[in-house]
Each structure stands twice: as structure tokens, then as C-alpha cells.
Structure 1
Amino acid sequence: MNTYIAFLRGINVSGKRKVPMVELRILCERLKLQDVKTYIQSGNIVFKSSLVQTEELEDLLSNEIEKYFGFEVPVIIKTVDDLNEIINQNPFISQEDIEANKVYFVLLNKIPANELLVKFNTETFKNEECSIVDTRVYLKCALGYGKAKLNNNLIERKLKVLATTRNYRTMNKLIELCN
């Protein structure tokens, strides 16, 4: 059995696209996912599965969520090793920034096209820094994510990928839940 973390995009935001965590856990268990744990209402699921292809798990979860809840929910799945690598390669390591909730991780469903990356890397955003590595964007928002111009929607639009964003604390808590 492998341990995975599923990141659901755009649920339980401003009372829309409601996905109760209890129902989500039950749905996952019906799919034969094991040791299912959810973390906060933004759509984080830790589970074990004998399936090894993350794309297969993403499709399975996304399709079943759409059937059950009646709307499409993009799903990005990472392994525990992926999460550890994401945290370990984070260039924004200031403890002060981490504690002030200024460090974020934008997870992408695929590596963006090179020409889009080149163009994106020429842009600057006041009070914000980013670094793109493969399927993740490391983000530091000096004024907090709520005021950031460089947000999930902009990243999706500019890089033409699906993305979902989590803060440093959430990523670390998910690693804890995997152990």
C-alpha cells in the first residue's frame, strides 16, 4: 500500500461547491481507499491505495466526486515523497515568513509549456516572489495570500494548467498525517 495526498481544488469556498468532509471520507472508503483522513475543509485527503498511478487515482476521485456531488472538482495527487521533496526544495525558508503565513505552495497538474514559463518569469509582482520548479510554484506573499495578485487563478491563466494552493502549515500537517 502506498500513501497519497489528494488536493481538491475550489471546494467549500464562500459557501459554494460544498463538499462535507464526512461525506468525502465515506466516498473515498467506498472507492476502497484505506486509512482515509481529511484535513480542514479546503479539500485535503490522506489515504492509502494499492494503485500506483497518481493519474489513475486523480481521475477516479474526480469522477466519483462529480457523480456524488454533482459538480467537477479538479484533483491533484502527490505521494509522501513528493510532499517531502516539495517542502525540502522550498526556497522561502525564513522562519519569520513561515510563522507569519507568507509562504505558499501552488501545485500544478502538469509541467507548464516552456514558452509560457519564459514569459511568466519576466513578470514581477509587488510584494510577491515566486520560484517555479516542475509542477509547483513556491510563493512568498509579503502582505499575505489574500492580497496577492500572484494567486492561483492568475497562475492557472498564465501557465495554462490546473492548480491548487496550500500554505506551509497545511503542507506540514499533511506530512504529519501521513506518518
Structure 2
Amino acid sequence: MQYIALLRGINVGGQRMVKMSLLKAAFEAAGFNHVKTYINSGNVLFETPETKLAALVAVCDRLMTTTFGFSVRIAIVTAQALITAVAQAPNWWGTDPNSKHNLIVAIAPQTARSLSEQVGTSKPEYEQVAIFGQFIFWSAPIKTYGRTRWATVTESEAYQWLTIRNANTARKLARLAQSA
């Protein structure tokens, strides 16, 4: 089965630096097949017969600790879940060039719904939000971004339980998964 690991907080601001070639090699050494990485933000596509997401997260966390010397939170999604979510994305997501468009992914044991509740009711005058499975589609005009509920997520407890990819990255990961 094909999965995508979304590592939270690597290669950001010169912290927790991970070379993608080494990350790919670590996933292969852990027994995963058809491993691909995409850009430096910690996106790993891989295949394995294992179907328990918690077990996959544990293996990936161990490989991060043993290979790179630190642990990170990891969201693992099936490739099909991401492909389906991106195909079902709201019409407004990723279309306006004057807006930010993010895919927010819940990291277990949190869910997209629980994270959304923790962040609070969205402000429709400034942002658009839609939940699809463990994904949250979010868009906001750049000029009013700072007024949105999700712009302040970094100040909340919920922040440690999510990882964010922009619309371009999310779409590219879905395309890579489809072509595998």
C-alpha cells in the first residue's frame, strides 16, 4: 500500500536540517519500498504492506531519531486519501493568486475536526475553511491574512498537532502518488 509521510518542522529556519537523499536512504533501510521525497519540507512517498498508521509512525519516528538524532511529529496518510482529498478540494482553494492556500494535516491522535475546534470558528470575512477527513483546506487573502483564525494557530496548543503544505505542494504530492 502507498503512503505519504509528512514530517513536521524539518529544514525550517536552519533548524532540524535533513538532506532528502539521506531521508530517502533511511526510509529504504527501514524496509520501505519505492521511496521518493519531494522538496526539502519532509514529504516522503513510500510503499509497505503494513496498514496500521500508528505502527508506521513509530517506525518513522525511530528512523528519525536513530538517523538524524531528533524526533519529529509525523502525519502519515494513505496516498489514496490525499489523492481523493485534493480531487474533492473546494473550488476556492488554490485558485486566487492574491491569497494563501494551505492544506493543514492533522497529526494523530488529533483529527482535523478537533484541531478546527481548538483554533475556533473561522472568520468568513477573512478566510475560507473546509474539512475533508484528516485534512483542512484553508485560503485567505494575503492582505488580510493576519486577521484570520488560522494565522494565529502558531500561538495555540493545536499547532504542535498539525503540519502544513501549500496548495502547490499538496497537488504535486497527489500527482506523484498517482503516477507511482
Q: Does the 8 Å contact 2:100/2:140 carry over to 1? A: yes
CA distance 1:137–1:26, change in 2 (3 Å): same
Counterpart of 1:135 in structure 2 is: 134
CA distance 1:107–1:13, change in 2 (3 Å): same
Question: How far did 1:156 drift?
Answer: 8.2
The letter for the 2-side match of 1:22 is S
Q: Distance in 1 between matches of 2:159 and 2:45?
A: 27
Question: How far did 1:132 drift?
Answer: 3.1
Counterpart of 1:117 in structure 2 is: 117
Q: Distance in 2 between matches of 1:148 and 1:9?
A: 24
Instruction: Deviation per CA, 1:83-137: give whole Å up to 9, x if none.
Output: 022213322436632x55632110002226769728712x538632222344222
Please identify, of 9-18 and 154-163, the stretch whose mean Cα deviation from structure 2 is larger.
154-163
The letter for the 1-side match of 2:76 is I
SS of the aligned residue for 2:6 comes to: strand
Counterpart of 1:89 in structure 2 is: 88
Q: Identity of aligned pairs, percent?
A: 26
CA distance 1:151–1:16, change in 2 (3 Å): farther
SS of the aligned residue for 1:19 comes to: coil
CA distance 1:171–1:116, change in 2 (3 Å): closer
State the TM-score, normalized to the length of structure 1. 0.82
CA distance 1:152–1:76, change in 2 (3 Å): farther
Q: Distance in 1 between matches of 2:37 and 2:6?
A: 10
State the TM-score, normalized to the length of structure 2. 0.82
- Unpaired runs of at least 5, structure 1: none
SS of the aligned residue for 1:96 comes to: coil
Q: Does the 8 Å contact 1:108/1:135 carry over to 2? A: yes
Q: Does the 8 Å contact 2:99/2:141 carry over to 1? A: no
Q: Does the 8 Å contact 1:8/1:164 carry over to 2? A: yes
CA RMSD in angstroms comes to 3.1
Q: Does the 8 Å contact 1:19/1:69 carry over to 2? A: yes
Please identify, of 67-76 and 15-24, the stretch whose mean Cα deviation from structure 2 is larger.
67-76
Q: Does the 8 Å contact 1:33/1:47 carry over to 2? A: yes
The letter for the 1-side match of 2:138 is L
Question: How far did 1:165 drift?
Answer: 0.5
Counterpart of 1:64 in structure 2 is: 63
CA distance 1:147–1:70, change in 2 (3 Å): farther
Please identify, of 145-154 and 74-83, the stretch whose mean Cα deviation from structure 2 is larger.
145-154
SS of the aligned residue for 1:36 comes to: strand
Question: How far did 1:51 drift?
Answer: 0.7
